[in-house]
Amino acid sequence: MNLVSPHRGYPLERIEGNSGSMETWVGTFDRIAKDLGDLRDRAHRVAELPGVGDAISRARSDAQVIAGPVRSGIVDAQLLSSVLSAYADAYSAHAVPANRMIEEIRNAHAAWESAAGEAEQAGLKALWSSRSGPDDEATKANDDARDAMATADAAKKALDELWTSWETLYTSWDEAYDKALSSLVSGASVYLTNEEKALLDQLLAANDPAAVWQLWNANPALRDALADHYPDIIGNLDGIPYDVRAEANLRRLKELHNRLQFLSEPQKSEVAALWDEVEKKNGKLISFDPDGSEQTTAALWYGPFDAANVSTLVPGMLSKVNGIGEFGKSARDLIDGTGDAAVAWFGYDSPEVPEEPFMDRAQNGAPALRSFLLGLDAQPGSRTINVIAHSYGSTTAALAIGSAADGLGVDRFITVGSAGLPDDAQVLANLQSPDAPRIYATTSANDFWAPVGKVTGWGHHTDPASLDGVTTFDSDGGVDAAGEPLLATPGHSAHSGVNFPGQNAPGGYLLKGSESFYNVREIVRTGEPGTEPGGEGSEKGYWDLVAEGMSQGGYGLGY
């Protein structure tokens, strides 16, 4: 039985290929390109030999004659290697799993056909019974028909889901195949000279973002080739200038957005969210990795790249790139009317609810944030660097910033609704060293989960407000400098929501109009909160009422 997919009309047949064989040929072409590159370098050295005389002249002439064809051979070998390597990756990522699904689809199709036939027979029996059979027999026949139709519908739904997944894989493979053919025809190879390859190797081996910055700026003639051919590397390498990274990542995002309808969730909603921020909100995509982590990671920059005051917003538990727009709005509101810049940094795999008590996600995410902050500090010029972290984001940020006594160049570390800082003695000592950033902290009296997270967490019990020299600020209402009322943060959320599912109210920690956000903005702008603790307009919250109940001999809140 020859089946075709219902939406795209692809034939359900095996995609032929052998990943191992393709990788072997990639290695062969790479060796040929390297050997030819060495030969070309020797020819160039011969062509530059000093001296006079027929022998020297002939040698220089022969070397020049050799150099031309050798360079052409290098281009051809690297073209074949790069095209075959890209296609081999696509074959493994898309064709192999598509091939695995063929038998499953055939079985599901047969199951649906069988169920549909049984449903048709049950329907005919129900129709016959309703006309000529006893009432109880007609009732049973109708029930059997409904059950059979439900079974057929479920089989059809299962088949449709398989077809959708298979079509997505087949489409991706088909596009990769077309791209490979097009590259071979046009000669659009990933061709790098030996000098360009050497620079790429040096960039990847650099000890820190400052070294990356120096290498990049010391080799202006080699940079375009690397950015053109390796946007996935250049777009995510800390120390590379942000305008170069943004351009490289935008190209990759456009490629995905152009085939948005063929992407599966959650990538479809993630690409759409990033596209909205880039196209409509003037965000610059300074990092983007849709493949390398458990979650898609990304960072959006708002404001000028040469801003003298830059804030990085770090989200907490359950933060995914498809929700980056909320943090993007906070970033834009933070810099509105200023010449500052802000970054929505979704650069780590945030924890799910069962993972929040543990340090694993923070330990995995802190090196990425550390590298990003070092890269920010390595850019030319002086600037004030602020880190604003919500919930578990403060755990991750503290681990990164506290990895060095100088705080990685961070000037202000602002925690909102912290889930607890790491208990590591060296991290805490670094956070309180003379060169550490100034630390600020707030926890709303309505926030049920932040105090619970500090108590129940394994390895992150430390309340930032307990550290020496920390400036605490309110998030429980109050008024701004003009006397206008500010919202109390009603729960643990950064933007909207209270503490439990189904609850919703404005005033999140990073939502414009809340006392928390007003204070964060003033800290970024002036170094000090904008409201007085317990000042005019402050409201009592959940934990205030608990404390009152305890002080009166009860258990708080009437129980």
Whether the per-residue pLDDT at 446 is higher than 60: the answer is: yes
Question: Nearest to residue 510, comparing CAs of 500, 523, 495, 524?
Answer: 495
| Both structure tokens of 252 | 């990759």
What are 321-369's pLDDT values in tens digits? 999 999 999 999 999 999 999 999 999 989 887 888 888 899 989 999 9
What pLDDT score was predicted for residue 352? 85
Handedness of CA 124, 125, 127, 131 (dihedral sign): positive
Distance CA 199, CA 449 (A): 48
Distance CA 546, CA 542 (A): 6
Check: CB of residue 206 under 8 Å from CB of residue 239. Answer: yes
Hey, which residues does 414 pair with through a beta bridge?
388, 440
pLDDT grade, residue 77 (50/70/90)? Answer: confident
Hey, which residues does 343 pair with through a beta bridge?
301, 312
Whether the per-residue pLDDT at 554 is higher than 50: the answer is: no
Distance CA 466, CA 473 (A): 13
Report the topology of domain 285-551.
Rossmann fold (3.40.50)
What is the percent of the chain where pLDDT is above 70? 85
Hey, which residues does 441 pair with through a beta bridge?
415, 472
Amino acid letter, residue 27: G
Distance CA 154, CA 173 (A): 29
CATH 1.20.1270 residue ranges in the chain?
19-189
19-189 maps to CATH 3.40.109: no
CATH 3.40.50.1820 residue ranges in the chain?
285-551
Whether the per-residue pLDDT at 133 is higher than 80: the answer is: no
Distance CA 464, CA 420 (A): 7
Distance CA 172, CA 165 (A): 11
Whether the per-residue pLDDT at 543 is higher than 50: the answer is: no
Whether the per-residue pLDDT at 544 is higher than 60: the answer is: no
CA atoms within 13 A on the CB side of 286: 28
Whether the per-residue pLDDT at 43 is higher than 80: the answer is: no
C-alpha 177: how far from its chain's center?
Answer: 27
336 Cβ partners below 8 Å, 6+ apart? none
Coil, strand or helix: which one is 58? Answer: helix
Q: What angle do CA 84, 85, 86 make, to 5 degrees?
A: 90
What pLDDT score was predicted for residue 498? 64
What pLDDT score was predicted for residue 552? 47
What are 368-381's pLDDT values in tens digits? 999 999 999 998 88
Distance CA 143, CA 52 (A): 103
Q: Give the DSSP H or E segment for 377.
A: helix 360-378
